[in-house]
Structure 1
Amino acid sequence: MSKFQPYINKIKPIFSKFERGIAKAHILTRKRWIKWPLILGCMVVLFFTGLYFSIFFGAFGHVPSSEELRDIRNEQSTQVLDRNGQLIGKFYIYDRQPSEFKDFPKHLVDALVSTEDTRFFEHRGIDNVSLARVFVKTILMQDKSSGGGSTITLQLAKNLYGRKHYPVLGIVVNKFKEAIIANRLERNYTKEEILEMYLNTVPFPDNTFGIESASRRFFNKSVSDLTVDESALLIGSLKANTYYNPRTNTERSVERRNVVLSQMAKYNYIPSDSLESYMAREPQFNFRSFNQNDGIAPYFRQHVKRELASILDTLKSPTGRPYDLYKDGLIVHTTLDYTMQSYAEASMEEHLSKLQKDFERSYGKWAPWFRDKKLLEPLIKIMPQYKMYKERGLSEEQIKDSLNVKRDIQLWSWENDTIRKASAMDSLRNYLKLLNTGMVSIEPSSGAIRSYIGGINYNYFKYDHVSQAERQVGSTFKPIVYTTAIESGMDPCNYYEAKPVKYPEYNNWMPKNSGGMGEEEDSLSEYSLKYALSRSVNTVAVKLINDVGITRSIEQANTMGISKAIPKEPSIALGTAQITMLDMAKAYTTYVNNGKFVQPYSISKILDRRGNVLVSIEAKQSKKPAFREYTRQVMLEMMKETVNSGTASRLRYTYGVRNDVAGKTGTTQDNKDGWFVGLTPSLVTLTWVGNDNHAIGFRSTSQGQGANSALPMFAKFYQKLNNDKNYDSITSAKFDSPWKQVREDLECANVIRPLPENFFDKIFGRKTPRYEELEDESK
């Protein structure tokens, strides 16, 4: 007897049963109505089994392995934060901002599970019970309300890797791929980690990706602060994120929210007796745009973007490739102060909206944008519409008619920017009449930019007037000339005649003073340097630069941080040089930073998506002071006088700003530019107002002078800071007391005037001296 016989005896019954089964099947298959469906069924099973395994092994493209899934790198937007970590903007292709599972309120997860996948915590990626339900109810019974069989894990697989187009059986191939990926995800991650990945990648309305971005977009709050009904509303929008968009379809989104709340009550995630109260709540939306054209500080964010581009060019990621600003989820900490920026923007809007009305009213129907052909004709010929009509062969008359045809156009104004019936010529005139602006505040001890306004509206006017525009700086250049004089040894109580002088070597140029200064009764008066600066006397400034030297004044400007090449002409004393606001701000930091200029900067550090510091940026300042401490104190006292009793005195008597402030107003020729520089111990602020077209200026000096056009922005800004106790360290800061020598050197009469001819001969019988010192008029 063979030793295998016992085993054979055991197997024989099994084979006998198998043979009997084959025999019965053979008998059955003789019947055609059974044979061919059975064969067809087997072929279908074999086909889909083969298809599944061909997909599994990569015949239809790469399927991520378990190893790859363990290190999922999803595209993330770069976050731009203010100095206190508050989000001010993003750079992205897809607006995705990650958060962790611990940040999700429980009711958010409950809303998702009860609506999208009630058996999520029971299955392993594929819910066979749901698939059976779908097959029976949806396919066989045609019940469309029975729900789908897709799980959260399957949806995550689709969100992570998308779907590809296949000419044949595309939906089947994609579903099989997602099933394979879902199975691998379940093996590699916990349920909590899957939920975290899902909620960070799922698309919400308004092209936002991830729950954190959606929460900030629609409620302007972090996901951790969402209420039950807010969570339900956002989860509800996942069914169809355009159809249920809360911003554009509020009523539908609320109806869908209520469905989600009902599901939560059905599965005991919220008490049934509280359902009605949740459903009765009106959503409290607080829409926040992170569009690069909208939101707070758009000009600053673009300035940061330009700086980031140059910084990232010097860095390599761990993979050896350059960092991608739009995909790598960088975290950029900036120097901007969110609240201070909001005060600056509000101040700008309050002032410019009123100034624009005054500006248009001053011109009336004789405005250059209506009647000045010399202004309009060159601009018309560079319009895209003009060029298009020209290429089509239209005559000048036909082009003119076409440019005056009215159609629906979006024109911007301070009142609104709605669509209105207007022509291309109306659009050009609207652009020409608008005043633009710039405003920047810098911490003088570090160079950190605290507020930054590059224009009136970034959506319509992309040109940045803080860092890109070069405008004539007007009388804001005069302190540099006076600094050169004091540094050269001149006394702040030196006197200069205010009388205009003709300069033959400069084509008989004869600068004059504005507002009557230096004319008629004052034409022979002599002003002390401190008085001439506080009153911004043009004639004295030009005489002064000729005395101390144009070259020396330019060198002084360079040592104070102005990098722009300045023409060697005496007119620079009146501010004819064109310089950016950032360069001027840099120069003015010397007066409140011990004579050293600081480099304005906007980025403090850059982190990768995991929080590792890539770059840390520190303040940069000049190694040596640009002038003596004595000069600094003298200039600061003279600019205080400008605010207390000079051209900027309306800061005190009109706006009631009582802070320790030194400053300088500026107005350029023909009132094209208005400037104001405000210095406080902790902040240097520059404001500018003008028209982008240099041919258009203010109608009068009273309207266009810096004290009227630019100073009010600073005044309103400081009023707001003064009302916020959080900024007491800035608003309450005091300048140090000047040296005794400085105080003594500034004690002199502001003006000396000539007495009438033979005055002393008639009274005392002796010859009249040329001048007699007069007491300060304020005494």
Structure 2
Amino acid sequence: MAKSKRQEQKGYFTYIKWFWILFGSGVLLVTLIFLLASCGVFGAMPTFERLENPETNLATEFISSDGETLGKLYLNDNRTPVAYEDLPQNLVNALVATEDARYYNHSGIDARGTLRALIFLGSKGGASTISQQLSRQLFVGVRSKNKMQAVLQKIKEWVIAARLERNYTKEEIIAMYMNIYDFNYNADGIRSASRIYFGKEPAELRIEESAVLVGMLKNSSLYNPIRRHDLVLNRRNTVLAQMAKYDYITQKEKDSLQKLKMDINFNPESHREGLATYFRMYLQRFLNNWVEKNPKPDGEKYNIYLDGLKVYTTVDSRMQKNAEEAVQEHMKNLQAEFFHQNTPERNRTAPFLDLTSGAIDTIMRSAMKRSARWRYLKREGMTDKDIESTFHQKTEMTVFDWNSDSFEKDTVMTPMDSIRYYKTFLRTAMMSMEPQTGHVKAWVGGVDYKHFQYDNVIQGARQAGSTFKPFVYAAAIDQLRYSPCDSLPDNQYCIEPLKHGNMEAWCPKNSNGKYTGENLTLKNALANSVNTVTAQLIDKVGPGSVAAIAKNMGLTREIPEVPSIALGTPDFNVYEMVGAYGTFANQGVYVKPVMVTRIEDKNGTVLYEYRPETKDVLSKDVAYAMVNLMEGVTQYGSGGRLRHSFAKNQTVYKEIITGYPYELTNPIAGKTGTTQNQSDGWFMGMVPNLVTGVWVGGEDRAIHFSSLTYGQGASMALPIWGLYMKKNYENEELGVSKEAFEEPEEISINVDCTKVLEDRKEELDTEDDLEEIDF
């Protein structure tokens, strides 16, 4: 009996001994495994330096002058980090309640959660803490399907999570986790996700919106709010229930929030969509040039897609939006009229006018060989003959369409037909600049960047037409001290052969082919674009003087020193023209347009700051006289429709000019321009603190309206300016001037032509008159 008792005690102690041996061995084994993992036996582990500076790809961010994000530049990761302080508390609460309720009570590994997961084999929830999830996102990667590999990955997560907890605060870990997660649709990190799914910054998220994004953390591909609305709604409500369970919100708040609909405001971010697409592509080219000349301190180049640069621009997001809306409103209506005039019944060679079939074929074949399709197939090694044959095979494609809500439609056509289809669309360009600083406030390079990627603001150049005439008048006022009130006769005027280098007499006609024989003031002549007066002026000052003054005002392209430049035969782009006109508004000082004010790296270190480039070109009184001259254009000239409501022929324009008349009453200086055959329509408009240029035309000069009714600058381009300015004036915060242009304290040029001009103003009160004076 006693022996049996001793045997029982011996067995008990043996059991205890083996229990502790096994337990100790287990602890030692686990410790050994963790040590081996720490040493990288199971795979490379991040160094201390990498833990201090986790490598994440950061998008370059373009920031407007009013502090809004215009867009980003990235390859794969559209990520812009957000500090913990900028995260709403409701987002943090939702994250902790749903993903790691004991987050603030552990050091990276939740022992209770891990034990529960082991006992119930994960059926009652996993054990990954926020720190472990971050370690997987940063350093481990996608979970392996191999069980043994998955276990080793889990061990690495534990080790890295513990290290993260030692190196970072709880708040920093939350911020890193929310910044690293991929929410789909290029929504990398919480800032992109907030902007893409709700159209707002993270700090503006409401509780139910934060719950949607936190719910996506479980699996963003599965819980996709765009494709699986009901599933995501249920997941959102689960997150709200978790918040109530852990007392972050009350049960009453939970019940109320769960009844709300899931109001997704989807704003996809890509290089071809969003605000200021053409401007952003200009910025990309700017950065590519900048990084070539400005390496990092270690000699390496900055990566504009990965290094998280911040590019501070001059563009105002509100004015940019106004500009894009104005372009869209007018061009949609103008295009409808162009289509109407170019049906097969009205124009069998549409969209071309006055071309032979051979000339059209030459244009089409040239466009084919410039296309991306041709270049791609050429790189693939196909012969020219085989490539050309593919252009005549029907294929499915998505093309631009003004009448679709998305401006796209799916169709089937041959690539050659698609080239002709796209040539039927009129193109446009618009740029707006503050003349005193050169800051560009709005930039629209076309009607839709996704389908028309040629930037007509700065890449294109077209004949300037009558918008070049102010440079002729400026030379005459500057050199001959003419005033706006001086007069010249409206008679046919010829510049003799060999004079100024021309080989034969040049005798320009007025656009209507008529000559009044009257003496016209310079102000009247410019307002009505009288060619005979312009010819007399360039004959007096010489083409060389005009070319010189235009170049000093920022027109860098070649200007032949021949008399015909007076009517705007040289080609210029909108960028140059706006900069040049800014000289008139800025009291004779040319300021080169500027688009970027500062570049910072991801840490806020300033890498670049712009320096203004200026040049004194005209005296203040000459510049003011020119402004006074161009005010006549909008008072009683071809720009008069900005101000007046015409009783006659108003129905002619109602289909194409949205919002006409504009009835603007403030001082406006400007100039319309129309080139031969109505191929180009221009309007340059100025108020004291804003100069804006607009061009409209076809891709090819043979694509144009058949008459001045629709083809003049006052019909094609001016309405965009009018719509844009009306939108600007509706927002007083923009501070766009309604005041008069500043008059110099001392002015030696007479600009008071009131009596002379009132007589003419009374005569000109119908739309018919305006149609005859724009060229």
TM-score, with normalisation over the residues of structure 2? 0.84
- 1:267, distance to aligned residue in structure 2 (A): 2.8
* 1:199 and 2:178 are equivalent in the alignment: yes
- 1:367, distance to aligned residue in structure 2 (A): 5.4
1:210 aligned residue (162, 186, 189):
189
Does the aligned pair in 1 maintain the 2:342–2:350 contact within 8 Å?
Answer: no
Equivalent in the alignment of 2:358: 374
Counterpart secondary structure, 2:329: helix
Counterpart secondary structure, 1:439: strand
Equivalent in the alignment of 1:411: 399
- 1:185, distance to aligned residue in structure 2 (A): 0.7
Q: Distance in 2 between matches of 1:643 and 1:241?
A: 56
Does the aligned pair in 2 maintain the 1:203–1:210 contact within 8 Å?
Answer: yes
Q: Distance in 2 between matches of 1:106 and 1:710?
A: 49
Tell me which amino acid in the other structure corresponds to 1:58.
Answer: G
1:574 aligned residue (567, 571, 576):
567
For the structure 1 residues 775 and 440, does the alpha-carbon distance in structure 2 shift closer, same or farther, using more than 3 Å as the test? closer
Does the aligned pair in 2 maintain the 1:668–1:674 contact within 8 Å?
Answer: yes
Does the aligned pair in 1 maintain the 2:140–2:156 contact within 8 Å?
Answer: no
Counterpart secondary structure, 2:671: strand
- 1:162, distance to aligned residue in structure 2 (A): 4.1
* 1:55 and 2:37 are equivalent in the alignment: yes
* 1:130 and 2:113 are equivalent in the alignment: yes
CA deviation string 1:143-187 (max 9, x = no partner): x64222222111101111243899984323332322221111112
Does the aligned pair in 1 maintain the 2:278–2:449 contact within 8 Å?
Answer: yes
Q: State how 1:107-146 maps to structure 2 within 5 Å.
A: 107-138=90-121, 145-146=123-124
Q: Distance in 2 between matches of 1:73 and 1:686?
A: 45
Q: State how 1:603-682 maps to structure 2 within 5 Å.
A: 603-622=596-615, 625-653=616-644, 654-682=661-689
Q: Distance in 2 between matches of 1:715 and 1:775?
A: 24
CA deviation string 1:600-656 (max 9, x = no partner): 00112222323333322243311xx21233322222211111111112111111321
Tell me which amino acid in the other structure corresponds to 2:126.
Answer: G
Q: Is 45-54 or 61-70 further displaced after alignment?
A: 45-54
Equivalent in the alignment of 2:311: 332
- 1:332, distance to aligned residue in structure 2 (A): 2.0
2:711 aligned residue (675, 680, 704):
704
Counterpart secondary structure, 1:364: coil
Q: State how 1:219-618 maps to structure 2 within 5 Å.
A: 219-317=198-296, 321-365=300-344, 366=347, 368-369=349-350, 373-378=357-362, 379-380=364-365, 381-382=368-369, 403=391, 406-416=394-404, 417-489=408-480, 491-492=482-483, 493-499=486-492, 501=494, 504=497, 506=502, 508=504, 510=506, 512-519=508-515, 522=516, 524-618=517-611
Q: Distance in 2 between matches of 1:22 and 1:687?
A: 92
For the structure 1 residues 114 and 604, does the alpha-carbon distance in structure 2 shift closer, same or farther, using more than 3 Å as the test? same
Does the aligned pair in 2 maintain the 1:527–1:750 contact within 8 Å?
Answer: no
For the structure 1 residues 403 and 44, does the alpha-carbon distance in structure 2 shift closer, same or farther, using more than 3 Å as the test? farther
- 1:714, distance to aligned residue in structure 2 (A): 0.8
Does the aligned pair in 1 maintain the 2:109–2:132 contact within 8 Å?
Answer: yes
Q: Distance in 2 between matches of 1:642 and 1:572?
A: 20
For the structure 1 residues 311 and 399, does the alpha-carbon distance in structure 2 shift closer, same or farther, using more than 3 Å as the test? closer
Counterpart secondary structure, 2:429: strand
Does the aligned pair in 2 maintain the 1:672–1:697 contact within 8 Å?
Answer: yes
Counterpart secondary structure, 2:599: strand
Q: Is 125-134 or 235-244 further displaced after alignment?
A: 125-134
For the structure 1 residues 608 and 717, does the alpha-carbon distance in structure 2 shift closer, same or farther, using more than 3 Å as the test? same
- 1:528, distance to aligned residue in structure 2 (A): 3.5
For the structure 1 residues 56 and 274, does the alpha-carbon distance in structure 2 shift closer, same or farther, using more than 3 Å as the test? same
CA deviation string 1:541-577 (max 9, x = no partner): 2343233111111111122222222122222111111
Q: State how 1:64-213 maps to structure 2 within 5 Å.
A: 64-93=46-75, 94-138=77-121, 145-163=123-141, 169-213=148-192
Q: Distance in 2 between matches of 1:340 and 1:57?
A: 57
Q: Is 427-436 or 119-128 further displaced after alignment?
A: 119-128
Does the aligned pair in 2 maintain the 1:605–1:616 contact within 8 Å?
Answer: yes
Counterpart secondary structure, 1:418: strand
For the structure 1 residues 60 and 498, does the alpha-carbon distance in structure 2 shift closer, same or farther, using more than 3 Å as the test? farther
Q: Distance in 1 between matches of 2:563 and 2:534?
A: 9
Q: Distance in 2 between matches of 1:748 and 1:485?
A: 23
Does the aligned pair in 1 maintain the 2:490–2:530 contact within 8 Å?
Answer: no
Q: Distance in 2 between matches of 1:364 and 1:300?
A: 34
Does the aligned pair in 2 maintain the 1:721–1:731 contact within 8 Å?
Answer: no
Task: Give the superposed CA RMSD.
Answer: 3.5
Tell me which amino acid in the other structure corresponds to 1:179.
Answer: W
Counterpart secondary structure, 2:750: helix
Counterpart secondary structure, 1:357: helix
Does the aligned pair in 2 maintain the 1:125–1:179 contact within 8 Å?
Answer: yes
Does the aligned pair in 2 maintain the 1:411–1:430 contact within 8 Å?
Answer: no
- 1:507, distance to aligned residue in structure 2 (A): 6.1
For the structure 1 residues 75 and 393, does the alpha-carbon distance in structure 2 shift closer, same or farther, using more than 3 Å as the test? closer
Does the aligned pair in 1 maintain the 2:469–2:566 contact within 8 Å?
Answer: yes
Does the aligned pair in 2 maintain the 1:375–1:695 contact within 8 Å?
Answer: no
Paired positions, count? 718
Q: Distance in 1 between matches of 2:456 and 2:208?
A: 44
For the structure 1 residues 155 and 367, does the alpha-carbon distance in structure 2 shift closer, same or farther, using more than 3 Å as the test? farther
- 1:286, distance to aligned residue in structure 2 (A): 2.3
Counterpart secondary structure, 2:422: helix
Counterpart secondary structure, 2:104: coil
Q: Distance in 1 between matches of 2:687 and 2:351?
A: 42
For the structure 1 residues 44 and 136, does the alpha-carbon distance in structure 2 shift closer, same or farther, using more than 3 Å as the test? same
Does the aligned pair in 2 maintain the 1:337–1:451 contact within 8 Å?
Answer: yes
Equivalent in the alignment of 2:768: none
For the structure 1 residues 501 and 525, does the alpha-carbon distance in structure 2 shift closer, same or farther, using more than 3 Å as the test? farther
Q: Is 185-194 or 282-291 further displaced after alignment?
A: 282-291
- 1:660, distance to aligned residue in structure 2 (A): 0.8
- 1:135, distance to aligned residue in structure 2 (A): 2.4
Tell me which amino acid in the other structure corresponds to 1:281.
Answer: L
For the structure 1 residues 52 and 692, does the alpha-carbon distance in structure 2 shift closer, same or farther, using more than 3 Å as the test? same
Q: Distance in 2 between matches of 1:174 and 1:289?
A: 34
Q: Distance in 2 between matches of 1:714 and 1:394?
A: 45
Does the aligned pair in 2 maintain the 1:153–1:194 contact within 8 Å?
Answer: yes
Counterpart secondary structure, 1:411: strand
Counterpart secondary structure, 1:736: coil
Q: Distance in 2 between matches of 1:108 and 1:166?
A: 30
Percent of paired sites with the same residue: 34
Q: Is 160-169 or 644-653 further displaced after alignment?
A: 160-169
For the structure 1 residues 727 and 393, does the alpha-carbon distance in structure 2 shift closer, same or farther, using more than 3 Å as the test? closer
- 1:517, distance to aligned residue in structure 2 (A): 4.9
Tell me which amino acid in the other structure corresponds to 1:72.
Answer: P
Counterpart secondary structure, 1:293: coil
Q: Is 125-134 or 499-508 further displaced after alignment?
A: 499-508
Q: Distance in 2 between matches of 1:164 and 1:238?
A: 14
Q: Distance in 2 between matches of 1:404 and 1:507?
A: 47
Tell me which amino acid in the other structure corresponds to 2:569.
Answer: T
Tell me which amino acid in the other structure corresponds to 1:373.
Answer: S
Counterpart secondary structure, 1:684: strand
Q: Which has the larger radius of gyration?
A: 1
